[in-house]
Chain A
Amino acid sequence: MRHYRPSTADLLSAVSDFLRELGPRLESGDRYQSLVCTHILAMVERELRGEPLADEDEAALVAAIRAGDHDGDWDATFARILNRTVARVAIAKPDHLAPEHRS
Chain B
Amino acid sequence: MPDTRSDPAIALAAAVRRRFGGGTSVENVVQATLGGSNRTLLFDLVEGGGTRRRLVSREETFTGEASPFLSPGQQFRLTAYVHAAGVPVPEPIFEYDGQDALGPGFVTAFVAGETLPRRLIERDDRAALLVQLAEALVRLHGLDVPPASTEPSSRRGASSQPIPSSQRRLGSQAAEAQRQQSDANPPSPDADDNGSTQHPLAFLADIPESGDPVAGMRLRLDALDEPHPALELGLRWLETHRPPQRPRALVHGDFRNGNFMVGQSGLAALLDWECSHLGSGVEDLGWLCTRSWRFGRNADHAGGFGTRDDLIAAYASAGGPRLDADEIRWWERFGLIRWAMFNVLQAHGFAHGRRSPAYAVCGRNTALMEYDLLMTLKGSYD
Instruction: Flag if B375 contacts A98 (CB, 8 Å).
Output: yes
Residue on A with the closest CB to B380?
Answer: A98
Instruction: Flag if A66 contacts B367 (CB, 8 Å).
Output: no
Q: Is the interface of A mostly helix, strand, loop or mixed?
A: helix
Q: Give the distance to chain A from B324, nearest Cβ to Cβ, in Å.
A: 24
A62 part of interface (Cβ distance < 8 Å): yes
Separation of A66 and B375 alpha carbons in the complex (Å): 20
Q: Give the distance to chain A from B290, nearest Cβ to Cβ, in Å.
A: 15
Instruction: Flag if B357 contacts A37 (CB, 8 Å).
Output: yes
Q: Which of B227-235, B256-264, B301-309 participates in binding chain A?
A: B227-235
Known: A43-B364, A93-B365. A36 touches B232 (CB 8 A): no
Instruction: Flag if A82 contacts B378 (CB, 8 Å).
Output: yes
- B227 touches which of A40, A62, A78, A89 (Cβ 8 Å): A62
B218 part of interface (Cβ distance < 8 Å): yes
Separation of A98 and B371 alpha carbons in the complex (Å): 10
What string of 1s and 0s marks CB contacts (under 8 Å) between B277-306 and chain A?
Answer: 000000000000000000000000000000
Instruction: Flag if B229 contacts A66 (CB, 8 Å).
Output: no
B228 proximity list for chain A (CB < 8 A)? 58, 62
Return 25 A-B CB contacts under 8 Å, by A number.
A33-B358, A36-B357, A39-B361, A43-B364, A58-B228, A59-B227, A61-B227, A61-B229, A62-B228, A65-B229, A66-B235, A66-B236, A77-B233, A78-B374, A78-B378, A82-B230, A82-B374, A85-B230, A85-B371, A86-B371, A88-B370, A89-B371, A92-B364, A93-B368, A97-B371
Residues on B facing A (Cβ under 8 Å)? 33, 218, 227-230, 232-233, 235-236, 240, 357-358, 360-361, 364-365, 367-368, 370-371, 374-375, 377-378, 380
Given A81-B233, A96-B368, 4 further pairs, Cβ under 8 A: A43-B364, A61-B227, A70-B236, A88-B370
